Amino acid sequence: MLEYNFVAVDLGATSGRVILATFYGKSVNIEEIYRFPSPIIQMCGHFYWDLPAIYQSVLKGLKMVAERGITPTSIGIDTWGVDVALFGEDGAMLSLPHSYRDPHTVGAPEEFFKRMPREELYERTGIQVMNFNTLFQFDTMRRNGCSALAAAKKILFIPDALAYLLTGEMVTEYTIASTSHMIDPRTRKWDEKILEMLGLNADKFGRQVMPGEKIGTLTQEVQRLTGLGAVNVVAVASHDTGSAVATVPAEDMSMAYLSSGTWSLMGVVSPDPIITERSQQLNFTNEGGVSGTIRVLKNICGMWLLERCRAEWGDISYGELIAQAEKAEPFRSIINPDAPCFANPESMTVAIDNYCDATNQPKPSCIGEYVRTIFESLALRYRQVVGMLGELTGVKVEQLYVIGGGAKNDMLNQFSSNAIGVPVTTGASEATAWGNIAVQAEGTKQFGGFAEIMQMCSPLLESKHYEPQDKELWQQGYDKFLSVYKEI
């Protein structure tokens, strides 16, 4: 019986992992080989990703795989979206990549709209306006006279840049490019007018590849550094949310998904983009998925709120945070998680306090109250966005499927079911890695289709189910949410 080993390099905005999945017959095993930080460097007034450090960590993880005597069938890479690395004529990286947390793009959309109306941009791309989108990063760098952008021979998104460092091949994977605000979701090609406005052209980017296509093989240098042989690197859904959503068993748009982590990404899987005046008003996005699908979704500020608070509180376990939140008064203080004041404040607790002051609510007075405020507010925001999805698609959402790290958060998942009034089912907490691995496995033609591969993986999933509770109480909570909803 043949054994297949797939390596997923799964990079989040906080940490990255090198994960090994072994398929033997009908059995599957998954193991985290190496976990490492995704470091951001604050330097000269900007925030940059330390891509060389991330690359070295990837090499270390691959070396640990080789030290086990394992020969991977293939390697796939997924990361966060929008950010890029710039490479010169000689193939060398010209500068550290800007992080989407860099405030240099604050106000950038408004500057671009002076040259192309917001409505036209949305009609061309179907992408929600977020100031850190690649389009606005490029326009900001151009206006600021960025010498690296002017000198760049090739521009590669972060997963494509890492694939280049491993293989020497420069490509642009479709799902990651679809986050840029520069792709036509109907044709899946670059919008030439937008590129021209930025002083760019399609030749600045690598050849486009789709999930499942081979990118290349490990270079001689990487083989020597890791101890691996000429292993193939395969394009997966390189945008981490694209990989995660690939694991959602949605048969139609009555099942919404929630990719719950640092960001909460809520949407539906659609065969076609939804680009209307109303979807623009609601700021929904149309990003590429596997098998030609479109992820119609909205970004919601997720566990970033709690992560930043925890940094202020010290070493407190999630179990203790939940225990304290359970003792707190329901709906004492409610916030809009997507208010700009929560994007990257110096102190998240102070930002929450200020929001409560501005909306005439009592400020949280203890850790448990902060945690409950965050969880209840997220659940109520999810209800609001589910209502928007129903309006846009014409299909009532009857179930929510939660993936990502938040799939383990019993309190938030129960709150979400209560707030929305529909059952909630959890999938893989490691959904990005599973989606990455499943695309690789499907490419071997040895395991049937994508659904069959996910069925093979199902024994490893600790799925839970939640039913709505306390309907009247949560309706009161939603009424309060709407009364204090502000964009401050």
What are the catalytic residues? Answer: 240
Q: What are the structure tokens assigned to 110, written together? A: 């408004």
**Cα(337)–Cα(129) distance, rounded to whole angstroms?**
17
**Any idea what DSSP says for residue 481?**
H
Answer for the pair 395, 244: CB distance below 8 angstroms, yes or no. no
Segment 121-124 long-range contacts (CB within 8 Å, at least 24 positions apart): 121/181, 121/194, 122/275, 122/280, 123/275, 123/280, 124/184, 124/191, 124/193, 124/194
According to DSSP, the residues that pair with 93 across neighbouring strands are 87
Other Cβ atoms closer than 10 A to 314: 6
Residue closest to 442 by CA, chosen among 456, 462, 428? 456
Q: Give the number of C-alpha atoms closer than 13 A to the C-alpha of residue 221, restricted to the C-beta side.
A: 6
Answer for the pair 352, 364: CB distance below 8 angstroms, yes or no. yes
**What totals of helices (H) and strands (E) does the chain contain, helices first?**
19, 21
Residue closest to 240 by CA, chosen among 450, 436, 35? 436
For the chain, the first-to-last Cα distance in angstroms comes to 60
Answer for the pair 31, 20: CB distance below 8 angstroms, yes or no. yes
Residue pointed to by tokens 């600045």: 204
According to DSSP, the residues that pair with 207 across neighbouring strands are 171
